[in-house]
Copies of this chain bind each other. A is one copy, B any other.
Amino acid sequence: MSRELIGYIENSKELLQEALHQSLQKLLIPEQLKQSMLYSINAGGKRLRPILLMASYDAYANNNKKVLSSCLAVEMIHTYSLIHDDLPAMDNDDYRRGKPTNHKVFDESTAILAGDALLTYSFEIIAEDPLLNDTQKVEIIRLLSACGGPTGMVGGQILDMEAEKKSATLEELERIHTLKTGELIRFAIYTGAYLANASKEQLNYLTDFAYYLGLIFQVQDDILDVTGDEKKLGKRVGSDQENEKSTYPKLLGIGGAMKQKEIYVEKAKNALEKANAEDSYLMALTDYFSNRDY
C-alpha cells in the first residue's frame, strides 16, 4: 500500500472519528443512551463506507466538506446494524473489533434502543446539514433509506439468516451480500460522486464499481475467516465453518475464492476507468480492500 493512500485513510479516519464523536456528544439525550451510542461509534473499525464516500467525491471535485453529513449517516447506520446483529437473538456475539459488544457492556434493551437511535438520527443529520440544498438532501435520504432498509441491508440480513439453515448457491450468496453489504457501499460511492456533480453516465459506471467492490469485500471477509489472524481481526476465525455458513471458500475452495476475487477486482477497475475515476483513491482502495488482513 502506498504511503499516500495510508495517509489518506489515516487523515480521513481521524476527521471522521472527531466528527462522529461530536455529533453524538452534542445531543441533549438521556446519558445512558448517549453512552451506549458513543460506545459503538467509538469502537473504531475500518470506516470503510465513509472513506469510500469521501474518495468518491474526491475523484470528481475538491473540498469535500459537503459529504461529511452523509459520511456520518452511513457510518451510524452501519454501526446500528452491527449492534443489532450482535444481539443474542441474532448472531449472539460477545466481542466485536476486539471489544465486548454493546449489549454485553450495557444491556440488551439499551443496545436495541441505541441501534434504533443511531438509525433514526442518521436521517436527521442529513436533513439538518446547512451545506446541502433540499434537492440534495431528499436524494441522499431517498437512497440511504432504500439501501439501508427492507429493499437493501435489512433484506440482506433476513436472507443471510435464512441461508444459515440451508446451503446457498454462488448466485444466492452474491444476492445476500449485495444486499447486506453492497447496498450501503453503493450508497457511499454514489453519494460522494453525486455531490461532486458527476455525470449520469459516470454515476452508472460507479454503481457497477460499487457492486463489485461489495463482493470483493465479502470474499475477503470469508477468506480471512479461514486464513486470518485473530489478533489483527479482533474476532475469532473459523466461526463460519463452525456455523456451517455458506461462504466463498466453502463453495469454491480457498484457491477458487481467491480467483473469484481477482475476477471481481478486474471488473471493478474496469468500471472505474469507464467512470473516469482511474486516477482516484478509489483505484488504490480497491486493491487495499482486496488484500486487507484485518
Looking at the assembled complex, report how far the CB atom of A41 sits from the nearest CB atom of chain B, in whole angstroms. 12
Q: Are B116 and A84 in contact (CB under 8 A)?
A: yes
Q: Are A29 and B128 in contact (CB under 8 A)?
A: no
Contact mask A140-159 → B, CB, 8 Å, 1/0? 01101110111100110111
Interface on chain A toward B: helix, strand, loop, or mixed SS? Answer: helix
> Which residues of the other chain, B, contact A123 by a CB distance below 8 angstroms?
123, 141, 144-145
Q: Are A32 and B162 in contact (CB under 8 A)?
A: yes
Asked whether A134 and B138 contact (CB < 8 A) given A116-B84, A150-B33, the answer is yes
Q: Are A27 and B150 in contact (CB under 8 A)?
A: yes
> Which residues of the other chain, B, contact A161 by a CB distance below 8 angstroms?
109-110
Instruction: Report copies per complex.
Output: 2
Contact mask A117-135 → B, CB, 8 Å, 1/0? 1011101100110000011
11 further interface pairs, Cβ-Cβ under 8 Å (given A30-B162, A110-B158, A117-B155): A29-B155, A34-B150, A37-B150, A87-B109, A89-B89, A112-B112, A116-B116, A119-B119, A121-B150, A137-B141, A141-B141
Can you pick out 26 interface pairs between chain A and chain B where the beta carbons lie within 8 Å of each other?
A30-B159, A30-B162, A32-B158, A33-B154, A33-B155, A33-B158, A37-B150, A80-B116, A87-B112, A88-B89, A89-B108, A89-B112, A90-B112, A112-B112, A113-B158, A116-B149, A117-B155, A119-B119, A120-B149, A123-B145, A124-B141, A124-B142, A124-B146, A127-B142, A137-B137, A137-B141
Binding site for B on A (CB under 8 A): 27-30, 32-34, 37, 80-81, 84, 87-90, 107-110, 112-113, 115-117, 119-121, 123-124, 127-128, 134-135, 137-138, 141-142, 144-146, 148-151, 154-155, 157-159, 161-162
